Amino acid sequence: MFNLFLQGHEGRFSVYVHASKEKPVHTSHYFMGRDIHSESVSWGKISMVDAERRLLAQALLDPDNQQFVLLSESCIPLQNFDYVYNYLMLTNVSFIDSFVDLGPHGSGRYSEHMMPEVEKDDFRKGSQWFSMKRQHAIIVMADSLYYTKFRYYCKPNMEGRNCYADEHYLPTFFNMIDPVGIAKRSVTYVDWSERKWHPKSFKAVDITLKFLKNLTVRCHITLHFIYVPCLY
């Protein structure tokens, strides 16, 4: 899918792959030789944020990279390359999911050990999938203060809470340091409407042509809002 998406647009993108366990076997030449130094990643732990930071650090070495898009191996493009490229390159914000969830799977995960740097009112939730401008990627790599708070006080099974750093660190961080510089939504489809620990997941039987077409006109369902459009 991504082979077709990227074909003919060489020189306008670069690819970086973080593999948490075994080295992947790539079938597309766009992904061959693009594996970065990777370490084991545990679901729900700070190691997921560490993987994101390793990817950003590697991508920042290329001064031509201006937008940094984090995707999983399960993501597929919903628009053509030119549409996605222009949408991201012409924007003046980063697309980082960040919203208030007052329930047990949102603010209920907050630990007072994060004070005074992170107050409970500042605590945000969001999907880990982002599209980030270069200036914001640099800020993430420069941060140690807020990162340390989430490293030690946002983790599974801590004080009877299950806090997942990948769902809270960046949403909270950017809500505090540059709230007007982010769109507070992802351009990757995410559905939080079930109010569970994590976004809704889909099986193969759910992915129909009608479903995919609907995603191009409505995107990112939080507890309260629907945004448009979806790119992935």
> What would the pLDDT profile of 47-92 be if each residue is shown by its tens digit?
999 999 999 999 999 999 999 999 988 888 888 899 999 999 999 9
Burial category of 89 from C-beta neighbours within 10 Å (exposed 0-12, middle 13-18, buried 19 and up): exposed
Encoded amino acid at 155, one letter: K
pLDDT digits (tens, 9 = 90+) for 6-22: 999 999 999 999 987 67
- Give the pLDDT score at 199: 66
Whether the Cβ atoms of residue 122 and residue 172 lie closer than 8 Å to each other: yes
Q: Taken in order 18, 93, 165, 46, is the CA torsion positive or negative?
A: positive
* Ranges of each domain in the chain: 2-188
Burial category of 162 from C-beta neighbours within 10 Å (exposed 0-12, middle 13-18, buried 19 and up): middle
Whether the Cβ atoms of residue 184 and residue 97 lie closer than 8 Å to each other: yes
pLDDT digits (tens, 9 = 90+) for 152-209: 999 998 887 899 999 999 999 999 999 999 999 888 877 766 666 566 677 778 778 7
Burial category of 59 from C-beta neighbours within 10 Å (exposed 0-12, middle 13-18, buried 19 and up): buried
Across 23-32, 100-109, 172-181, 219-228, the highest mean pLDDT is recorded for: 172-181
